[in-house]
Amino acid sequence: MQTDQSRQPTLSVSELNRDAKNLLEAHFDWVWVEGEIGNFTAASSGHWYFSLKDADAQVRCAMFRRANGRVKIRPAQGDSVRIRAKVSLYEGRGEFQLICEHMEPAGAGALQLAFERLKSRLSEEGLFAASAKQPVPSDAAHVGIVTSATGAALQDILTVLKRRSPHTQVYIFPVQVQGDGAAEQIAEAIAQADRLVTGGSLPLDVLIVGRGGGSLEDLWAFNEEVVARALFAAQVPTVSAVGHEVDFSIADLVADTRAATPSAAAELVSTDQNELLQHLDILRGNIARSLQRQLTDLSQQFASLRKRVRHPGHALNQQRTALTKLSASLHRAALRQVNHQQKQTAQLNTRLAAQHPGQQLERHKTQRQQLGHQLLQRIQQRLKEAKADVSHKHKLLTSLGPEQTLHRGYAIVTNATGNVLREAGHASEGDALTLRLGSGALSAQVTGHPKD
């Protein structure tokens, strides 16, 4: 005779485990559990298997590859962690377990611990080495910016560049700078900018990567390994500008240069146009003084040459005197020849007819006139060239002098003591000023300083 118990339905082991699993999963919602890592195993499939224990108990845990890929720091044996998990049961062995979806170091300073571990590992790989860093230009003509399109950091950078170097071309790569996926967006923007530069599509001189200040959690995207490796791989020079002066990130250590703030990054890669204008004024003054010295030297050389050049009449008088002496000597010689050679008068007369001194005298006169004319022409030509050279340099000096600048609409402002004013801040309300224009001068009085 069968009992009532023998007529009860019988479950298989699989059915029992499945029902137990369904009951556990239906009864428990997501739970947060804190404990110490034990028996940690990273399978070849990418899944993690471990136990979570305290002083009195332990529970089996599994964290699949999809979930553990978001963990900032890989756990180690003995680490204290806090996990968010689903309560479940592994039907194959009938084992109670937790399916972990999120893991973070437990206790205070968890993020700081993650920061220090990643910092140590990347340092050992050489990502912070000084030998790997490139020089950053201080006068970049084309600047790329990787940051939030709506953040204050972008406006700070643009404001500084507009004030210091308005000619600089800016290229913005907008990204999310905090929250899930922010690190991946930042890394992809860095890689995209670098590809455009190396491919010749974009002439970037430097790339600024950063955001405004915040908590360690707010800045965490710039402490992610994917951002660090993107910065290290970039061929374009990079500047990290994350947070304020007291903030420090992994990106700061990997980038070619760290700027304390976004505004400081903009100042680092640009040259102040006011400094360039002041330098130009100095160069202009040096050129004016140099031209004045050259003009003075040329004037002195011209005066010296004038003293050395002798009047053509003096040379003619010398030649005339020499010619007179030669004529007298020739005449005396002829007389001596006649007296000495009286017996050969007929022969001398014949020879004298062919070689009469008067004809030689005429030839000498003609030659003298030609020489005198050539000498006069050369002297006049030298004087003409010297005058033209002096005139040209005088015009050149005039065109580069301050008078020409005044005629283009500028003015030289001096105070009551005659000192030139270069900045509005050097004048006070009520000061009397003199404005020298291209034609004439004006008197003025300071009534106030307009707001910038």
Which tens digits make up the pLDDT trace of 61-103?
999 999 988 887 788 888 888 899 988 888 878 788 899 999 8
Residue 97, classified by CB atoms within 10 Å of its CB into exposed (0-12), middle (13-18) or buried (19+), is buried
317 and 419 housed in the same domain: no
Structural domain ending residue among the three candidates 244, 271, 298: 271
Mean per-residue pLDDT, 173-178: 94
32 and 147 housed in the same domain: no
108 pLDDT above the threshold of 50: no
- The C-alpha atoms of residue 57 and residue 286 are separated, in whole angstroms, by 86
147 vs 105: which has the higher pLDDT: 147
- pLDDT for 347: 66
Banded model confidence at residue 211, pLDDT cuts 50, 70, 90:
very high
**Pair type for strands 48-53 and 58-63:** antiparallel
**Pair type for strands 432-436 and 441-445:** antiparallel
What pLDDT digit, counting tens, does each position of 348-406 carry?
666 666 566 677 788 788 888 888 889 889 999 989 998 998 888 888 877 777 777 77
376 and 332 housed in the same domain: yes
Is 118 contained in some domain? Answer: no
Mean per-residue pLDDT, 183-209: 95
229 vs 396: which has the higher pLDDT: 229
272 vs 241: which has the higher pLDDT: 241
107 vs 91: which has the higher pLDDT: 91
**Is residue 213 a contact partner of residue 121, using CB atoms and an 8 Å limit?**
no
Would you list the DSSP string of 205-270? SEEEEEE----TTTTGGGGSHHHHHHHHH-SS-EEEEESSTT---HHHHHSSEE-SSHHHHHHHT-
Residues making up the chain, counted from first to last: 452
Domain count for the chain, please give it.
Answer: 4
Backbone angles phi, psi at 178, to 5 degrees: -155, 160
43 and 141 housed in the same domain: no
323 and 208 housed in the same domain: no
- pLDDT for 318: 81
271 pLDDT above the threshold of 60: yes
CATH number for position 100: 2.40.50.140
Mean per-residue pLDDT, 393-421: 81
54 and 86 housed in the same domain: yes
Mean per-residue pLDDT, 279-302: 84
Backbone angles phi, psi at 170, to 5 degrees: -115, 135
Structural domain ending residue among the three candidates 208, 243, 271: 271
Banded model confidence at residue 3, pLDDT cuts 50, 70, 90:
low
- pLDDT for 141: 93
65 and 159 housed in the same domain: no
Integer CA distances (angstroms), 157 to 12, 98, 118, 147, in order: 70, 48, 29, 10
Is 254 contained in some domain? Answer: yes
391 and 411 housed in the same domain: no
Structural domain ending residue among the three candidates 215, 245, 271: 271
Is 303 contained in some domain? Answer: no
What pLDDT digit, counting tens, does each position of 314-328 carry?
777 888 888 888 888
**Pair type for strands 31-42 and 80-90:** antiparallel
164 and 214 housed in the same domain: yes
What pLDDT digit, counting tens, does each position of 9-45 carry?
787 878 887 887 778 777 777 888 989 999 999 999 9
142 pLDDT above the threshold of 90: yes
Q: Is 355 helix (H, G, I), strand (E, B) or coil?
A: coil
Q: Could you give the angle at the alpha carbon of 265 between the alpha carbons of 153 and 157, nearest 5°? A: 35
Give the residue from 318, 442, 424 showing the smallest Cα distance to 371.
318
- The C-alpha atoms of residue 344 and residue 331 are separated, in whole angstroms, by 18
- pLDDT for 191: 96
Give the residue from 444, 413, 412 showing the smallest Cα distance to 430.
444
- The C-alpha atoms of residue 416 and residue 431 are separated, in whole angstroms, by 8
Is 182 contained in some domain? Answer: yes
What percent of the chain stands above pLDDT 70? 92
- The C-alpha atoms of residue 191 and residue 232 are separated, in whole angstroms, by 10
313 vs 434: which has the higher pLDDT: 434
Is 114 contained in some domain? Answer: no
Average pLDDT value over all residues in the chain: 85
Is 179 contained in some domain? Answer: yes
CATH number for position 221: 3.40.50.261
Q: Could you give the angle at the alpha carbon of 355 between the alpha carbons of 353 and 360, nearest 5°? A: 125
Banded model confidence at residue 276, pLDDT cuts 50, 70, 90:
confident
Banded model confidence at residue 297, pLDDT cuts 50, 70, 90:
confident
Is 59 contained in some domain? Answer: yes
225 and 338 housed in the same domain: no
Is 255 contained in some domain? Answer: yes
98 and 174 housed in the same domain: no
59 and 33 housed in the same domain: yes
Task: Show the domain range for 416.
Answer: 407-445
